[in-house]
A and B are shown apart, each in its own frame.
Chain A
Amino acid sequence: METFANSHNELLPQLFRMEYSKMTAVIGRLFGLHAIEIAEDIVSETFLKAAEVWRVNGKPENPTAWLYTVAKNKTRDYLKRVNLFESKIKGTLPLIIGNNELEIEQDLDFTHQIISDSQLAMIFAVCNPVNSTEAQICLALKILCGFSIEEIASAFLAKTETIKKRLLRARANLRNPSFKHALSHPVDASPARLEAVLRVLYLLFNEGYFSKTDDHLIRKDLCSEAIRLTLVLTEHAATNTTETNALLALMCFQSSRLDARANDAGEAILFEEQDKSLWSKELIAKGNYYLVNACLGNEISKYHLEAGIAYWHTTPTGQNKWEHILQLYNQLIILEYSPLTALNRAFAIGKVYGHKQAIQEVKKLNLTDLNYYHALLGYLYADTNIEKAKIHYEQAITLSTSISEKNTLMKVLKRLKAQG
């Protein structure tokens, strides 16, 4: 199937990306979690058939409906074959118990509701803490987003073999009998399970937003897929929580800056130097909408706080902007420690109380092996102690693993050296 996504036909790869995961989810729910591969095979075969038939006959009037019909027929054929084999030859029960043919027909209707229900079930099945978060993200990309193994590998800067192995192990874990019914409905959307799901979607988004890869297109893809999956959660009452809305608001705000964050050469552009006219007003408006929804309850999650910070970043300076941002970072770091939050908070201190106080705060952090630690100190020293600034920028460049980041830092260093 991998070759397929890379096919030169313009329409099919696009349809593949949009429909693969939906079809896999609908058919997969019929078979149960232990047999997701069967669903994936059927959907893959459907796309192969499309490639063959459309090449000869031209593309059908309604390509999506065509795909759904073929997938449905293939599923029906598969079930007939297997049930015949199971009952007549092996004398065991049919593969699918308790579903008569009429129910199967209904379950295979690709209506918006069924697709949405199935995708929700599949999201919960895939984002299962039985696997490591890294493995969950890989599985999500493969099954929920229709990414090829090559695409996943390039997003993680990993070898395709590594990703293949990771996926194999993750699938094996999901086949464990105790998780067999994980795809049944209603979905178990208990707070703990929903929290685990939100965490994977959050990390999936971050994988795109703070990606190791310099491939701008893949990064955008990861972000928009994370948004699409989170939107599925908002379509169901049990998962449409204030926390879900806060996460979605955060994703919208961050995404609004995606186009402004890199120049044509793929180099990162610092926040303050971004062309704000490139920020997507539409996504900011959506972010505002979900943030209002997120604030309907009393709960304040880390997504609320991060969305709040991202909101303030979309506003012009003044209006005590940085005071608000600092307060939110204070709450965030108290709620959950992370080195990046600690450094971002110190940056906000610099904005509110001046660079001198921020330097003191940064030095207490004991994060000398992080490139951001040195990049931040370099920035904070730049206007008072240019020699120290240079030393820290040099250390940041040595520690950085991203080429575009190195380039950005080297530009700053060059500018400093020109000053003296």
Chain B
Amino acid sequence: MKEFMLIFRNSNPAPDTPTPEQMQERMNWLAGIAAQNKLVDKGNRLSMGQAKTVLPDNIVTDGPFTEIKEFVRGYIVVKTTTIDEAIELAKGNPILKMGGSVEVRALLTPGENN
């Protein structure tokens, strides 16, 4: 088994608090992964409001803002035998219906080469 991080991105400005239906759909999807015993970390949703960016030379800016394309909204970690299987899991995420995207990235184990 290999671990993959699914990173959810959306540039579509949607409210921080999803509707009960959206929550339910997301929970069904997440629990469906857990039911296959493929969930490693249920991850977190990331705030859009409380966000700062730290730059070199002690510069701190507000944002990133949701207007920025492909704003990171959250992540989870799954375990599957291949990246294709992880992609199949990602395809069910409701963010895709809202104009978002899911990035699938393998987690590297210590000593593993890229």
Proximity bits, A335-371, B CB within 8 Å = 1, else 0: 0010001100110010000000000010011100000
- Chain A nearest CB, measured from B36 CB (Å): 5
Asked if B24 is at the interface of the complex by the 8 Å CB criterion, the answer is yes
CB within 8 Å for A346 and B35 given contacts A327-B24, A327-B27, A334-B42: yes
Q: Is the CB–CB distance between B27 and A342 below 8 Å? A: no
| CB proximity of A340 to chain B, nearest CB, Å | 11
Interface membership of B32, Cβ < 8 A: yes
B 22-50 contacts with A by CB, 8 A = 24, 27-28, 30-32, 34-37, 39, 42
Q: Of A323, A329, A365, A366, which contacts B31 at CB under 8 A?
A: A329
Which chain B residues lie closer than 8 Å to A323 at the CB level?
24
Q: Within the assembled complex, what's the spacing in Å between the Cα atoms of A337 and B38?
A: 9
Contact A337–B32 (Cβ < 8 Å):
no
What is the minimal beta-carbon distance from A321 to any residue of chain B, in angstroms? 15
A334 near B39 (CB under 8 angstroms)? yes
Q: How far is the CA of A231 from the CA of B87 in the complex (A)?
A: 48
Interface centre among B34, B35, B37, B39, by most chain A C-beta atoms within 10 angstroms, is: B35
Instruction: Give the number of residues in B that approach A within 8 Å (Cβ atoms).
Output: 12
Q: Is the CB of A364 within 8 A of B32?
A: yes
Q: Which residue of A lies closest to B28 (CB)?
A: A330
A-chain residues with CB within 8 Å of residue B27 when the two chains form the complex: 327, 330-331
Given A330-B30, A334-B42, A342-B24 contact (CB < 8 Å): no
Tell me whether B24 and A365 are in contact (CB under 8 A).
no
Chain B contacts of A342 at CB under 8 A?
Answer: 34-37
CA distance A329 to B34 in the complex (A): 11
Which residues on B sit within 8 Å (CB–CB) of A412?
Answer: none
Majority DSSP secondary structure for residues of B touching A: helix
The answer to whether B36 and A345 touch across the interface, beta carbons within 8 angstroms, is: no
A128: min CB distance to chain B, Å: 29
Interface band, chain A: 10 to 19
On chain A, the residues within 8 Å of B35 by CB distance are 333, 337, 341-342, 345-346, 361, 364-365
Distance between A350 CB and nearest chain B CB, rounded to angstroms: 13
In Å, the complex CA distance between A333 and B31 comes to 6
Residues of A within 8 A of B37 (CB): 337, 342
Inter-chain CA distance A337–B34, complex, in Å, is 7
> Chain A residues near B34 (CB, 8 Å)?
333-334, 337, 342
A383 to B10, CA, bound (A): 41
Q: Looking across the interface, which residue of chain B has its beta carbon closest to that of A341?
A: B35
Nearest chain A CB to B29 CB, angstrom units: 9
Q: When each residue 363-390 of chain A gets 1 if its CB lies under 8 Å from chain B and 0 otherwise, what string results?
A: 0111000000000000000000000000
Q: Knowing A327-B24, A330-B27 are in contact, say whether A364-B36 is a contact too (CB < 8 A).
A: yes
Q: Which residues of B contact A326 (CB under 8 A)?
A: 28
B40 CB, min distance to chain A CBs, angstroms: 11
Among residues of B, the one whose C-beta sits closest to the C-beta of A339 is B37
Nearest A residue to B42, CB-CB? A334
Chain A residues contacting B28 (CB-CB under 8 Å) are: 326, 330, 349
* Cβ-neighbour of B30 out of A334, A337, A341 (below 8 A): A334
Which residue of chain A lies nearest to B89 when distances are taken between CB atoms in the complex? A364
A364 and B35 CA atoms in complex are apart in Å by 9
**B82 → A minimal CB distance (Å):** 15
B42 partner residues in chain A, CB cutoff 8 A? 334
B93 CB to nearest A CB, Å: 15
B65 CB to nearest A CB, Å: 31
Contacts of A349 in B (CB 8 A): 28
Q: Are B39 and A361 in contact (CB under 8 A)?
A: no
Q: A349–B31 Cα gap in the complex (Å)?
A: 11
Task: Check A366–B36 contact: CB distance below 8 A.
Answer: yes
Could you mark each residue 60-81 of chain B with 1 if its beta carbon is under 8 Å from any beta carbon of chain A, else 0? 0000000000000000000000
Binding site for B on A (CB under 8 A): 323, 326-327, 329-331, 333-334, 337, 341-342, 345-346, 349, 361, 364-366
A–B Cβ pairs within 8 angstroms, 16 of them? A327-B24, A330-B27, A330-B28, A330-B30, A333-B35, A334-B30, A334-B31, A334-B34, A337-B37, A342-B36, A345-B31, A361-B35, A364-B32, A364-B36, A365-B35, A366-B36
New A-B contacts (14) at CB < 8 Å, excluding given A330-B31, A361-B32: A326-B28, A329-B31, A330-B27, A331-B27, A331-B31, A333-B35, A334-B30, A334-B42, A345-B35, A346-B35, A349-B28, A361-B35, A364-B32, A364-B35
A-B pairs, top 9 by smallest CB distance, nearest first, are A330-B31, A342-B35, A333-B34, A330-B27, A334-B34, A337-B37, A333-B31, A333-B35, A334-B42
